[in-house]
Structure 1
């Protein structure tokens, strides 16, 4: 669900309030709309395919990153997912309790914890991800299919640029 104001109303109000300030309004629109779109997509995916499996966005990201990179260290999952190790610990406990992931100490360095998918976790992701991708198709459907690769590349450019500076 969006806030009480539409995107157009918000943009008009911003211009009315800030119109006299020497600002780069196109840069503001890019950053603002990127943030708003990311939240809208995340909320949509949580309300649809993820809620059907009783998963939060964070839990899904942990499953996804582990599925792609297993075995993976917990610190790498937190870094890839963009959340704290404290948040990760709670999510891992939940996912482990559901039988989808397993943690083990690294044999090379006992201080490190590795995470692996269980067979049940792999089965979940194999069944879940096609439905997730159907929602990705829905989310991207307003964009001309011939322009989606270009749009994805623009988003990559923003991501790489910001990550280099942080």
Structure 2
């Protein structure tokens, strides 16, 4: 496993993982794969928790609710099926969160005039204002999270993560 701290040493959690996994009889234990996936997960969870606590809580939003509002803000109107795929949740979750966001007057649903099975969601004016107020604070958090990386390291990391995303169709 090659993930290390700033001094080039394995993180304590990684040492514990190696100790546990090397005692399990596996035909081909790939510690590098374990390190990458485990660290991506830890970063994702840390990012989610940090943003929910430091930014989104002020607006009464969960990570998933913010993700959905963000997609509506970017694409203006988005089909619920595509919204579920983008947010990585089920259509039922999209439906439940949309109901909450509608009660907060941040979005509304509209049916497709050609196909009644299709539903779109879009931001209200209040939802647009919330996103325009919220996003600069959210972006500041994004910048803080990667501030320990050079611009070149950020670009390389983005390139590698895009490759994982595309190869796995995430």
Greater RCO (CA < 8 Å, at least 6 residues apart): 1
> Paired residue for 1:13, among 16, 38, 56?
16
Taking the TM superposition and a 5 Å limit, the aligned residue runs for 1:20-39 are: 21=26, 22-39=28-45
Q: How does 1:102-113 map to 2 (within 5 A)?
A: 102-113=108-119
Matches within 5 A, 1:1-166: 8-19=11-22, 21=26, 22-163=28-169
**Structure 1, 63-72 or 16-25: larger mean CA deviation:** 16-25
Deviations 1:8-60 (A, max 9, x none): 22211222222355411111101111111111111111111111111000100
Displacement of 1:144 after TM fit? 1.6
Aligned CA-pair RMSD: 1.5
TM-score under structure 1 normalisation? 0.89
Off by >4 Å, runs of 4+ in structure 1? none
Structure 2: tracts of 5 or more residues without a match: 1-9
Higher helix share: 1
Question: For the residues of structure 2 that align with 1:66 and 1:38, how far apart are their CA atoms?
Answer: 22
The match for 1:4 is: none
TM-score, normalisation: structure 2: 0.87
Aligned length: 158
